[in-house]
Amino acid sequence: RSPYKTREMQISHQSAVFLLIYPTPTTVTMLIALALVPLALACGPGTGTLTMTPTMKFTYSPPRGWTYNTVANAKGGQQLSKEAAQKRINSDIQEAVNKAVASFGYSTSGVIVKPDTITPDPAALVDTSADCDKPPVVEPYTVYVANDQAVTDACVVPIANKATPFYHEDKTILITSPIALYTSNWESIAQMVWASLSADAGVRFKGPI
């Protein structure tokens, strides 16, 4: 039986018969599968395990836009609320994943990043470690040094010129895809996510995703 439904329409005084095609769930699934072919071809044949729910794990120092401060004026690209910072994080990551997937010729429809797996930091920022003794420490804020738009060091308050490296270890991005791809395919996509978040969002990574 044909997967399409048809009906006839009479238009004006003409006797022409028009065939209208209505996609059923079966044909929609077929069209989605065809749209996904370019991605699989661009990534190569693939090796490893097939999965529709890849996890990308990484260690990073956040950009200023992934932090917030509501006690004092937000500084140098910080967000004015926790909610705004979370929205920025979710948006940056989804955009990076979409950009990476699209770079392999695949429509991003149906590719979803689970929100709120990466959370914002409440931060009081200083430009150099020499200023670590200046800002008052107010809970829940921590004093950080922001270098090149990324928050790379935590002050040892209230000691000037004393800070320790700051980064989040082994955080994860959880992705849901309409089709299963091999592990090696997702690794290729992860490299593009790394590049996009570094260049566009200002994330400072320690090692690859």
Tell me the per-residue pLDDT of 76-94, one tens digit each, with 9 for 90 and over.
889 999 999 999 999 999 9
Cα 155 from chain centre: 28
Mean pLDDT of the chain: 82
Global pTM reads: 0.77
Tell me the per-residue pLDDT of 20-50, one tens digit each, with 9 for 90 and over.
334 554 444 444 444 444 444 455 678 999 9
83-111-52-192 Cα dihedral, nearest 10 degrees: -90
CA-CA distance, 10 to 5, in Å (whole number)?
17
DSSP 8-state symbol, 66? G
In this prediction, residue 7 carries a pLDDT of 40
Cα within 13 Å of Cα(196), Cβ side: 19
pLDDT band at 12 (very low <50, low <70, confident <90, very high): very low
Tell me the per-residue pLDDT of 110-125, one tens digit each, with 9 for 90 and over.
999 999 999 999 999 9
Residue with tokens 């994330």: 203
DSSP 8-state symbol, 79? B
Q: In what order do the strands lie in the sheet with 204-205?
A: 112-113, 168-176, 55-61, 204-205
Cα within 13 Å of Cα(133), Cβ side: 5
